[in-house]
Amino acid sequence: MTLYGRSFLTLLDYTPDEIRHLLDLAKRLKREKHLRIGHRHLMGRNIVLLFEKTSTRTRCAFEVAGRDLGMGVTFLDPVSSQMGKKESIEDTARVLGRMYDGIEYRGFSQNTVELLAKYSGVPVWNGLTDQFHPTQMLADLLTIEEQLGRLAGVRLTFMGDARNNVANSLMVACAKMGMHFTACAPEALFPAEDLVRAAREIAENTGGSVTLTSDVADGTRGADVLYTDIWVSMGEPDSVWKERIELLQPYQVNAAAFENAADCAIFMHCLPSYHDLGTEVGREIHEKFGLTEMEVTNEVFESKRSVVFDEAENRLHTIKAVMLATLSRQ
């Protein structure tokens, strides 16, 4: 198996065996990192990280993983580069492809990351677009396998804005790995029909399934994983908060949802999360709407069921695996 030279834009482009290869490579790299066994397999290479949206985990994971592999790392944001404003994506891609061995992009349009891949001639990695968040998925799959000992047959329920980037990607990731994905959300926030159709076609071949329900009791019953994400994603206007809160309050992950789930069910969240008043946005929402916690209660977030920080750490090991696999023959 080699993924050498490939871009990583959406999990739709990757077979279950290729995803398995990346997860196994990530496990090896995680073990080596914990044992302080160096793995500077990409010494002398250089990567550039393009961020049009903010980030903590993804940026840090790419930076640390890049350095652990021995690479030089450049960070560019919209303020300090010409991209988009004074130079087209196509031209930017051709310039960066002459200087760098790989490009990470986080931003708005999936089309942008695809153009970067088309014109740069080097592997491009999607660090989140409005549509997909594929590197998050590898960390999530690794975490589920570590916690539950398996992927195939696992029942994962996503509660919240089920047409956002994380939910879209989870639906595809679960389908690819033979898992049972449920989007538990108001109908207005169900994932797009064409993506549901594509995920169901994949699931037919893997033994997985894709279910959409707006009934919380049905959606959470027997779930092995309850997963949520913030109710308003980056790039959406503040004006949607009111409507989103009204729509999504019944879909909060709380103790009642866990009572209905499997006995050993775990809680997952890509983070960042509004589970208390420790954030500026959280406090603003509290002042305007009176909520002290949003997509998940603080009780669940801080409980033993919560594996969110294992999940966050796994961003590092899985992103490292993607870069190593696409920039070498490992």
Give the footprint of ligand CP on this chain (CB under 6 A). 55-58, 128, 136, 270-272
Please give the full DSSP string across 239-287, using - where no structure is assigned: GGHHHHHHHHGGG-B-HHHHHHS-TT-EEEE-S---SSS-SHHHHHHHH
Nearer to ligand NVA, 114 or 295 (CB): 295
Stretch that binds ligand NVA, among 199-207, 228-236, 285-293, 322-330 (CB under 6 A): 228-236
Positive or negative: CA dihedral 27, 28, 33, 36: positive
Q: Quick check: is 315 catalytic? A: yes
Contacting residue, 156, 174, 230, 300, with ligand NVA by CB under 6 A: 230
Rounded least distance, CB 282 to ligand NVA, Å: 15
Fill in the DSSP letter of residue 125.
Answer: E
- Residues 104 and 284: their CA atoms lie apart, in Å, by 32
Q: Is 231 exposed, middle or buried (0-12, 13-18, 19+ CB in 10 A)?
A: buried
165 interacts with, out of ligand CP, ligand NVA, none, CB within 5 to 8 A per kind: ligand NVA
At residue 131, what is the residue type? Q
56 interacts with, out of ligand NVA, ligand CP, none, CB within 5 to 8 A per kind: ligand CP
277-316 positions binding ligand NVA, by CB under 6 A: none
Number of residues that bind ligand NVA (CB under 6 A): 9
Among 106, 155, 180, 317, which one carries the catalytic annotation?
106
Nearer to ligand CP, 78 or 272 (CB): 272
Positive or negative: CA dihedral 62, 64, 67, 73: positive
169-208 positions binding ligand NVA, by CB under 6 A: none
- Quick note: the x/- pattern for ligand NVA over 109-138, rule CB under 6 A, is -------------------x----------
- Residues 253 and 216: their CA atoms lie apart, in Å, by 10
DSSP tally for the chain: helices H, then strands E: 13, 9
| Binding status of residue 166 toward ligand NVA by CB under 6 A | yes
**Would you state the structure tokens that stand for residue 62, as one six-digit string?**
């790419």
- Residues 187 and 201: their CA atoms lie apart, in Å, by 21
Rounded least distance, CB 117 to ligand NVA, Å: 20
Active-site positions? 106, 133, 136, 229, 270, 315
